[in-house]
A = this chain, B = another copy of it.
Amino acid sequence: MRRTGRRPGNPDTREAILGAARNAFAEKGYDGASIRAIATSAGVDPALVHHYFGSKDKLFLATMNSPMDPLELITEAAAGDRSELGVRFVRLFLQIWDGPAGAAGVALLRSTVGNEWATKMFREFIITQILRRAVPKLGLDEAEGQLRVTFAASQMVGMAMARYVIKVEPLASAPIEVVVAAIGPTVQRYLTEDLPGVFDGTGAGG
Contacts and interface: CB of A to CB of B under 8 A. Distances in A.
A114 B119 contact: no
Contact of A154 (B126, B159, B198): B159
Contact of A147 (B113, B154, B171, B198): B171
**Copy number in this complex?**
2
A interface, over-half SS:
helix
A174 interface: yes
A153 interface: yes
Given A166-B123, A204-B91, A183 B113 contact: no
Contacts of A165: 113, 119
Interface string A166-206: 11111100111110111111100110000111100011111
